[in-house]
Amino acid sequence: MARINPRQLPQNLRQGLAPIYVVTGDEPLLVQECCDSIRDAARKQGFNERELLHGEHNFDWGQLLSAAGSMSLFADKKIIELRLPGGKPGDKGSKALQEFASMANEETLLLLVLPRLDRSQLNSKWVKALDAKGVLIQIWPVDASEMPRWIHQRLRSAGLEAEPEAIQILAERVEGNLLAASQEIEKLKLLANDSVITAETMNNAVASSARYDVFGLIDKALAADAAGAVRTLQGLRAEGVEAPVVLWAIAREIRTLLETQEKLDQGQPINRLVRIQKRQPLVQSACQRLRPRHLENFLLRARAVDNAIKGGKEMDPWAGLLELTLNLSGKRSI
């Protein structure tokens, strides 16, 4: 399997389609864009049929093999898109994926989408079986120090130029959220007027952006202000903020709380773990209120919400976000 990063994918696709693509990572925007590129390239090669499968806990892995074997003589080529939000197929799934790899052909394309794989998963039998037939796209989070460069490249791709200070302003506001950054750049297309984007223009553009209230939602939840957090969530939805942006912020905070709790239990002081002084009491009180087992359950729920956002039918994504908001506020347990 060719192991590549998202920047290498366009060139890889121009060299021809593989029968299997594995997209692994925790950055929603880049995962979405990689999948879109693969689907577009496949459609140009006659893959006009698409079957979407969700590999949840009770998933029948026979569906994968059935989908692969259901082609008729005159049928269009088929994309089988399998989303595996838990990241681990289990014994049955491992065997099914190995069997699928053994029967890979030019008429069926498997697009497997799952969270970032750790070293042991990359060395598992099912990954090695796919290894011989396909392409693995590994997506890594953009480090805070790399965010200005990422934004600069994104602006240039959109035909925009910006002052370094303007780029830094946007990098600080989005705090690593690539989806929010991408949405702001789309808005800047309407404001730039073919000129270089100044710091003042950037400040004016992002100051009115309601999606940054999502961080206010997080702070209210950490402060156990459930009513305030719910009002903020409802306001975000009413003003058109997209569910993935809210989910990204909530899931990131849950993961951060888990890491902070572990270090607090090891005796590290809160002021070394949380840089912003005004957030230190919020995080510390949340860590006292919510134990690791709660947070781990919240992460499982966040994965279910992510699946719903991507087309699953288990729940309304906003209902799931409401429940997560209440969970983080300590008002309801899963």
CATH code at 109? 3.40.50.300
**Which of 156, 186, 208 is the C-terminal boundary of a domain?**
208
User: Do 34 and 112 belong together in one domain?
Assistant: yes
Which residues form the domain of 240? 212-329
- Stated pTM of the model: 0.64
Tally the domains of the chain.
Answer: 3
DSSP H stretches of helix in 77-163: 90-102, 119-122, 125-131, 147-157
**Which of 161, 190, 208 is the C-terminal boundary of a domain?**
208
Distance of CA 33 to the CA centre of its chain: 11
**What confidence score (pLDDT) does residue 333 get?**
46
Do the Cβ atoms of 300 and 309 come closer than 8 Å? no
User: Do 135 and 18 belong together in one domain?
Assistant: yes
User: Does 131 score more than 90 pLDDT?
Assistant: no
User: Do 38 and 52 belong together in one domain?
Assistant: yes
**What confidence score (pLDDT) does residue 74 get?**
56
Would you call 49 exposed, middle or buried from its count of C-beta atoms within 10 A (0-12, 13-18, 19+)? middle
**Which of 139, 155, 175 is the C-terminal boundary of a domain?**
139
User: Do 8 and 134 belong together in one domain?
Assistant: yes
User: Is residue 334, in this structure, part of any structural domain at all?
Assistant: no
Q: Which of 26-40, 41-55, 92-106, 231-245 is predicted least confidently?
A: 231-245
CATH code at 297? 1.20.272.10
User: Do 6 and 105 belong together in one domain?
Assistant: yes
User: Do 220 and 323 belong together in one domain?
Assistant: yes
User: Is residue 202, in this structure, part of any structural domain at all?
Assistant: yes
The pLDDT of 292-316, averaged and rounded, is: 86
User: Do 200 and 120 belong together in one domain?
Assistant: no
Do the Cβ atoms of 84 and 113 come closer than 8 Å? yes
**What confidence score (pLDDT) does residue 192 get?**
72
User: Do 133 and 181 belong together in one domain?
Assistant: no
